[in-house]
Structure 1
């Protein structure tokens, strides 16, 4: 039963009971961000930290390539990281949006001044080119030089299209970057009516209209095989701003059939798809539904949201491992240091807002609150303002934030600067004559419809009570106030008006009080914040500890101290009885006698900025734990036996071992996954290194991850192929070893051999998480 449906009736006050009929409006819209000001809280701190970060960035450095490629002298040197690669320019689009949001959230006039300045610079660069195009993205030619990325588009128009999913004719996800620029321009236009921003967007739109007009439908699908962000949303929005039907037609043509058709047909085929490539496409479908009223886009968007939140999401609300969706209900097999790319959650929250506006339901904001608190708030460092790319959930893994030197500019730096500019955007909503409160964040808001000022006081989620005061109410009267009751509240929410208990109407995840409100009235809600266990989808034996909306983490010490201990396990029948609250202001608990190998302290996960955490725990009975210990000891004995017979070991992905073994490579990269280092090679590349040998039968052993997507590659010893390895879900949920016996002729009379790993065409090799040469075990004599 939903928590909202089972709210305890705390006293009966007939005069506030609702009339018959629905109390929650059929549709809703958020208060404008500019109408909300945050009061002191961790959210207000995040906005201020982010505001300082935006001030620190230099618009002219972000504009470097826009001017250079247009034939204008740059005004400042380019930034490093991704901004010095072929994806340059995506950060400026995010920055433009973040400037608008920060101006709306705080009123900082410098944000608006910078945004207008950027538009002026873009207009100059666009005029200098004379084609309508303006951009900073680069194109890597075969000789490795990076040039103006615009040169790929005439090739595409001529039908010469080459894409590997993220590379389009030598440019890194170019249409993704174009989408970010469109979004920034349209946000500035919407923010305060900057007509020049719309004019630049229209000119850019005309350029790409010509590009797509030159392609038949099959060629369009080839182009859309490379990540394109939410470009469909941009053209849909351009149609709304101008009324020009060509933009709507183009938005509908930018439709990736391979991905979107199954979602519209209510089919979950997300496994092995790059997650954040897909989410913006669904936001675009949501926008198309809002404009056209056609049901198919809405079906696809809602099914995708239901599928991702119900079957592909971690306890903190984020999704994806190594940026990719796994199979449904397989989260327990993917608890790694590469979980939860922040961009995914940024976009899932945008999609949630669209769905909620169509039909308000508190369950949508149960997900929003969880993700906003536990993932988004974990992704910004409150000190220097850096951002995470991934938010790791593997036990003992430290978070990694972008540097204060501003030399990263990952995609998640861009989405991070937007996320932390707008923490007030979803607190208050309105629909019909109803007021809805969806997030309990300390704030003040101006409700223009009622000529009212609202004040929301709370220390939630540390404490359960939130108080909403009608500080001013110019247009009083009888109307409903809907307070969201999360599903986890389990029927124990308490609602009062002016400190007197009332009986709310319970509907669609809300406690609704409808009465004649006057200035000074206070409606309050108290939610229970008990601890509970949540199992991962598909695996009841892997659990997390949650308090209200807040995911709890075992505190494993500072980030600078390596974590080398075994993963803690939860053993016993009633684990929550072992938790004792130590500090109510910080929600710190001690857990005694329930974890192996030692007792643990628990704190809110998001607050572990510079500390190591454990979030997921395997849960055992006492008997089950004894069996687990026995299996662990047996595996250790096997590993020790192979180590004793080893001739040479290659730790791939680690700098010194790769140097010691003379590694050479092309289109090959070190990787880190589940605490192990490794190396892969992409199509057209390889990696090769030397290993010591000695006389006698030898075995080459390679270690792989058992849930890899389909790939094929060859392994050669001194240029003789000894095996073709196929990886495709070989051993789900675990690393595994493959042994390749070497013929005596390969090593006879040699002290060293060269091992070479080569992917097949349009495939990749590995990752290989280490290789080892060891002496074959002698067969026992009869």
Structure 2
């Protein structure tokens, strides 16, 4: 393996948009009460507030959802209890990274509640759904993914153990897993394989994690039992089994295959992962945002024009593809996987969280004049609400990697500090952007003094502190417009996209980076006359209530958009406005759009066609 992730406690975020969004998420995680998180588990176990039972089935109604959890968590819902696992996973990572004492106390109370439920249910069953849901699954009757729901709780318990070393969480997961092992062993292989066609979430990943933790052969058996042969074999054979298939059924399965290879070393698992990446990304392409789904299903390869709608880009798929890109980078060291992560972080994870309320948008519409539809705190416990509370606890884990040659890799321009030991040597590395970087490099044009107009570059700095020599490897992104400048101790060098090694000799080294940017357009592959506008890795959204045609040359976006409202006190602001169009239109980063209607893609017409037929606009 070429790179390793750093332990969660070794990296913390510094001030910036990613830490702001993490804080919004932390507040939401902490706002949910133990009683409400456990409501369905208590109902299933026959314990808890008896007055609650009288209100089952009423729905939010006059309660307005504030006193209990509704939506997919409504008692009686077939996925009830799924959010518990996401909450456990998100809370564990937040505590591991920040040491949040209040959230840690809530987490322990939730574990105590789950422990009680498992005891009341006979010592194994821990879930908020009843075992009879699995009887329906086995009989081929209609039921909504019980194993998906069960996986979420197992995932959360395993993550609590992995991130915090919590032995109680592990005991709960092991006892619950015994029930699944006993149940699943009753079926003939062909019968169980058919049952796996109903979404199982990341069961494979849990079995691989538990195999790594315990070494128990039970989990090796479960890995093989839960390998959906028809899917994996077709994938490795090179067949397109993704087009028009439900995306978030298969991404967790492949993440499980990745973990299975890391734990067992069996090449059959790695072959499946590499084939999936090739089919899902390399041979399929993406929207300008980095997303690849519409209506929760995979788009046809490089055919996206007809798939722009109100339900483009499901948040779950974005969240789950980022860890897959992380896997591919750790295995191969290829920089393209970091570029994929960056694009999806800015235009998926950030864009699908409300910048003020912290709520999630299940989908990111790409139809002209669409609006994001935000969930509410206690009504909309969609799957994407679950992945949201995990996603914003994991930004720090994507900022740095440890390379096999001993270097520390600065993978993303996320303001963060890593404090770790490399070869027995204490190392601290801090990355900064914009005005923060300008304090290190006064000429970075990001503070009160600098260019007359918005600088056409990202200013960044990397500060390295260590008593002994260490190599820090910095990514120069593919979106740079011309050579990037790297400055160390007054010496400047220029570099194209790729990695730049900085050889720190001891003490403190400050590395200044200037990453030139330019507006650029990206067209839809099967509709080249329709383009999106990007500034660095950031997709720009035009604030408009219907699809609009613009006039101009896609090769010269700087003639179409110019900076707008560019300065506020010591800040450069990121907006644009159109130039030379019949009606003015303003553009902002997609991740800053809240409730306004917007468009991302715009048909472009050359000037001469409009001159001949002005009405066409």
Normalised by the shorter chain, which TM-score bucket? 0.7 to 0.9
- Cα deviation, residue 629, structure 1: 8.4
Q: Distance in 2 between matches of 1:114 and 1:76?
A: 23
Structure 1 distance, partners of 2:286, 2:200, is 23
CA radius of gyration, larger in = 1
d(CA) in 2 for partners of 1:503, 1:487 = 14
1:611 aligned partner: 596
Structure 2 match to 1:195: 167
Question: Residue 192 of structure 2 corresponds to which residue in structure 1?
Answer: 220
Matched, 1:161 2:161: no
Instruction: Check whether the contact 1:64–1:76 (CA below 8 A) recurs between aligned residues.
Output: no
Q: Is the alpha carbon distance of 1:45 and 1:573 closer, same or farther for their aligned partners in structure 2, counting shifts above 3 Å?
A: closer
Aligned match of 1:500: 491
Candidates 213, 234, 259, aligned match of 1:241? 213
Structure 2 CA distance for aligned equivalents of residues 573 and 247 of structure 1 = 54
| Aligned residue in 2 for 1:408 | 380
Provide the secondary structure at the position in 2 that maps to 1:372. Answer: helix
- Residue in structure 2 matching 1:484, options 460, 464, 475: 475
Pick aligned residue for 1:47 from 13, 18, 22? 22
SS in 1 for 2:230: helix
- Contact 2:481–2:517, Cα closer than 8 Å, also in 1: no
- Structure 2 contact 86–156 (Cα < 8 Å) conserved: yes
**Does 2:322 align with 1:352?**
no
Structure 2: unaligned runs, 5 residues or longer: 53-67, 438-445, 447-454
Name the structure 1 match of 2:304. 331
Whether contact under 8 Å (1:464, 1:528) holds in the other structure is yes
Q: Which runs of 5+ in 1 are unaligned?
A: 1-25, 138-148, 557-562, 634-782
Is contact 2:521-2:555 (8 Å) kept? Answer: no
Contact 1:553/1:604, CA 8 A, preserved across alignment: yes
2:526 corresponds to: 538
Alpha-carbon distance, 1:417 to partner: 0.8
Q: Structure 1 residue 48: deviation in Å?
A: 1.1
Is the contact between residue 479 and residue 517 of structure 2 (CA under 8 Å) also seen in structure 1?
Answer: no
CA separation of 1:629 and 1:70: change in aligned 2, threshold 3 A? farther
Instruction: Encode CA deviations 1:346-381: one digit per residue, 9 max, x unaligned.
Output: 100111111211122211000000100111001111
Name the CA shift for 1:521/1:393 in 2 (closer, same or farther; >3 Å): same
- For 2:575, which of 574, 581, 588 is the aligned residue? 588
Structure 1 equivalent of residue 396 of structure 2: 424
Give yes or no for the alignment of 1:579 onto 2:561.
Answer: yes
Q: Contact conserved, 2:133 with 2:146, CA < 8 A, in 1?
A: no
User: Of Structure 1 and Structure 2, which has the larger fraction of its residues in strand?
Assistant: 1
Q: 1:623 to 1:269 in 2, by over 3 A?
A: farther
1:628 is displaced (CA, Å) by: 9.4
If the length of structure 2 is used for normalisation, what is the TM-score? 0.87
For 1:557-603, what per-residue CA distance to the aligned partner results, in whole angstroms no more than 9, with x for missing partners? xxxxxx3x45334444654123222316222222212x5x5232222
Q: CA deviation at 1:92?
A: 0.6
Of residues 460, 466, 475, the one that matches 1:473 is: 466
Helix, strand or coil at the partner of 1:318: coil
* Residues 183-227 of structure 1: CA deviation (Å, up to 9, x unaligned): 100011112221111111111111111121111121112211111
Q: What does the per-residue CA deviation read over 1:645-668, in whole Å, with 9 as the maximum and x for residues that have no partner? A: xxxxxxxxxxxxxxxxxxxxxxxx
Who is 2:267 aligned against? 295
Per-residue deviation, residues 605-637 of structure 1 (Å, max 9, x unmatched): 11112222111112333466689989x89xxxx
Structure 1 vs Structure 2 CA RMSD: 2.4
CA contact (8 A) 2:369 2:547 kept: no
Deviation at 1:284, TM superposition (A): 0.6
2:606 maps to 1:621 = yes
Task: Please give the secondary structure, in 2, of the residue aligned with 1:611.
Answer: coil
Question: TM (normalized to structure 1)?
Answer: 0.70
Deviation string, structure 1 residues 481-515 (Cα, Å, up to 9, x no partner): 211122222552111212321367x8x931223x3
Deviations along 1:418-443, one digit per CA (max 9) or x if unpaired, are 11122211111112310100111222
- The offset of 1:154, in angstroms, is 4.5
Per the alignment, do residues 71 and 500 of structure 1 end up closer, same or farther by CA in structure 2, a change over 3 Å counting?
same
1:525-674 correspondence to structure 2 within 5 Å: 525-556=513-544, 563=545, 565-572=546-553, 574-576=555-557, 577-582=559-564, 583=566, 585-593=572-580, 595=581, 598-622=583-607
- 1:446·1:453 contact (CA, 8 Å) conserved in 2? yes
Choose from 369, 390, 396 the match for 1:396. Answer: 369
Task: Tell me, yes or no, if structure 1 residue 385 matches structure 2 residue 358.
Answer: yes
**Contact in 1 for aligned 2:355/2:592 (Cα 8 Å):** no
Shift of 1:546: 0.9
- How many positions carry a matched residue from both structures? 571
Q: Which has the higher helix share?
A: 2
Find the aligned partners of 1:628 and 1:265 in 2 and give their Cα distance.
52
Q: Give the counterpart of 2:132 among 134, 151, 154.
A: 151
